[in-house]
């Protein structure tokens, strides 16, 4: 059952319930449904060290100004983990081309503080290890006491201020692409810091942006979430035992729906990372044209690019990309070498400038990174609405058998109600006939019709009342089924 069908069932159930409440002295039947719709399904909390997210979703860090304080705070406020991306953030500043590094550090600090002002939820940051100012960005994150630092695009092993991060309550989460990389990080941490990271993010090959895989591995089943997540979970078991703490695995890359979340958690993951879905939200920090590109793109338009940073990337292929591949891009100015591995001259463009142009809605002067499932997005919605949609999808996947029973219950309740309406019409007609007979007898009627009419009326009334109670049983049965997947307490006062 999909969400649209579920919504239709809820509407039908509400209609039957409201109609029934008009004919039986049953209190607040429709309020049952209101409570259900306002209550998020009981999906597991995501625990990372001392942090507890009621929604097991990490909003992926999207660089060059896509995930800033607005998006991160909205996700955190909704119960997930909001993430501000550090890379390319200096392009928000007017003086970026005068001093790119200083501009980046300033913008990064400002966005963290702005997010903190908007929510008390969990705020993390994503800092690429490959950044030339990685350590300076990390210092800002520590000084601002962010909740979590996610570290990708490189192995976060040497030269980390782990003790200072612990003193400031900053959780540490590396982003990996294999179980082997995970084991390497944890073993080296144990030797160097006598400590281990708080969690691990596995970013699979269906993600958007830069990918930690070769082009040949992207479609290989051996590198997908279904294969790698269980491997990482198993690889972490000895470290969890040695250090006496749980090490959650967060999996991302291609996670699109509530069902995807359910299936990913069943692999052993404790949470999911999602980025693509959060671009098409009101709170995303990008221009509306950037967001609309997600809504408008087709599956065929999504493809790979050769990035100046030396990694494959997934994006909406447009004229800018094609021109760059054919060497037709105009000259550009590099503010500073933000990535040591960058080969902008060979690629004929600066990827940070291109992505920043796209962020501002100048799509002909840049391009849009997207995940493999971006073409499924049909509209731009508030973050809270997206979370609710994912929650419903998770509930439906987790309670598939319940969903089938619910559909049957609603169908029977509707059928019974239609029957009841027919019987109720007969009751009303017999009632009118009985009143007319009372008024006419005995002056104008040769035979007393009252006993026969009374018998017919009582039979019809009994049948109608029986149908009402059958409908009520189906409505309450539906309520009980729905409660199997929610945290709403059943109150006898509503019976």
Task: Give the pLDDT confidence score for residue 479 in this predicted structure.
Answer: 61
> Cα–Cα distance between 46 and 349 in angstroms, integer?
40
* Tokens matching residue 329: 């891009």
Q: What is the Cβ-side half-sphere exposure of residue 341, based on CA atoms within 13 angstroms?
A: 11
For residues 142 and 146, give the distance between their C-alpha atoms in angstroms, rounded to a whole number: 6
What does the pLDDT read at residue 331?
A: 60
Q: Under the phi-then-psi rule, with left for phi > 0, alpha for psi from -120 to 50, and beta for the rest, what region is 471?
A: alpha
- Residue ranges of the chain with per-residue pLDDT less than 70: 1-7, 9-10, 21-42, 329-349, 400-405, 434, 437-450, 476-495
- Decide: residue 231, CB within 10 A, 0-12 exposed, 13-18 middle, 19+ buried: middle
Task: Measure the CA–CA gap between 350 and 354, rounded to whole angstroms.
Answer: 6
**Is 190 in contact with 196 (CB distance < 8 Å)?**
yes
How many helices (DSSP H) and strands (DSSP E) are in the chain? 17, 14
Encode burial over 375-398: b for 16+ CB neighbours within 10 A, e otherwise: bebeebbebbebbbebbbbbbbbb
For the chain, what is the radius of gyration of the CA atoms?
30
What pLDDT, on a 0 to 100 scale, did the predictor assign at position 490? 29
DSSP-derived pairing of the beta strands 122-128 and 171-176: unpaired
Give the phi and the psi of residue 486 in degrees, each rounded to 5.
Answer: -125, 170
Separation of alpha carbons 41 and 393, rounded Å:
9
């Amino acid at each position: 059952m999909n969400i649209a069908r579920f919504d239709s069932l809820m509407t039908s159930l509400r209609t039957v319930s409201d109609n029934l409440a008009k004919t039986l002295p049953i209190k607040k039947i429709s309020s049952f449904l209101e409570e259900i719709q306002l209550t998020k399904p009981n999906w597991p909390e995501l625990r990372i060290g001392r942090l507890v997210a009621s929604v097991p979703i990490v909003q992926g860090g999207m660089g060059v100004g896509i995930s800033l304080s607005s998006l991160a705070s909205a996700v955190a406020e909704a119960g997930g983990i909001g993430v501000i991306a550090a890379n390319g953030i200096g392009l928000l500043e007017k003086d970026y081309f005068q001093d790119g590094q200083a501009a980046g550090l300033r913008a990064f600090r400002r966005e963290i503080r702005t997010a903190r002002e908007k929510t008390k939820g969990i705020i993390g940051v994503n800092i690429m290890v490959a950044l030339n100012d990685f350590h300076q960005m990390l210092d800002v994150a520590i000084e601002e006491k962010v909740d979590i630092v996610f570290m990708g695009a490189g192995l976060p092993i040497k030269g980390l201020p782990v003790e200072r991060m612990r003193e400031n309550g900053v959780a540490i989460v590396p982003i990996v692409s294999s179980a082997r990389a995970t084991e390497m990080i944890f073993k080296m941490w144990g030797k160097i810091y006598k400590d281990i990271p708080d969690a691990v993010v596995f970013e699979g090959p269906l993600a958007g942006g830069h990918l930690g895989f070769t082009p040949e591995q992207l479609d290989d089943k051996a590198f997908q979430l279904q294969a790698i997540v269980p491997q990482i979970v198993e690889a972490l078991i000895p470290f969890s035992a040695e250090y006496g703490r749980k090490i959650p695995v967060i999996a991302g890359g291609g996670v699109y729906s509530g069902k995807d979340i359910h299936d990913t958690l069943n692999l052993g993951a404790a949470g999911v990372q999602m980025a693509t879905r959060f671009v098409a939200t009101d709170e995303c920090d990008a221009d509306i044209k950037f967001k609309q590109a997600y809504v408008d793109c087709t599956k065929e338009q999504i493809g790979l690019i050769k990035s100046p940073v030396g990694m494959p990337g997934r994006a909406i292929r447009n004229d800018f990309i094609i021109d760059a591949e054919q060497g037709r891009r105009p000259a550009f100015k590099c503010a500073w070498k933000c990535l040591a591995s960058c080969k902008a001259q060979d690629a004929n463009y600066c990827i940070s400038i291109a992505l920043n142009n796209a962020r501002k809605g100048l799509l002909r002067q840049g391009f849009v990174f997207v995940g493999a499932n971006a073409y499924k997005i049909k509209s731009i919605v508030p973050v809270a609405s997206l979370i609710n949609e994912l929650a419903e999808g998770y509930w439906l996947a987790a309670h598939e058998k319940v969903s089938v029973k619910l559909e049957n219950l609603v169908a029977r309740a509707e059928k019974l109600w239609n029957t009841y309406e027919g019987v109720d019409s007969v009751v009303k007609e017999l009632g009118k006939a009985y009143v007319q007979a009372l008024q006419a007898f005995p002056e104008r009627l040769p035979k007393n019709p009252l006993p026969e009419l009374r018998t017919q009326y009582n039979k019809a009334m009994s049948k109608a009342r029986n149908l009402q109670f059958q409908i009520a049983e189906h409505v309450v049965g539906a309520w009980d089924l729905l409660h199997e997947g929610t945290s709403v307490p059943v109150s006898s006062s509503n019976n």
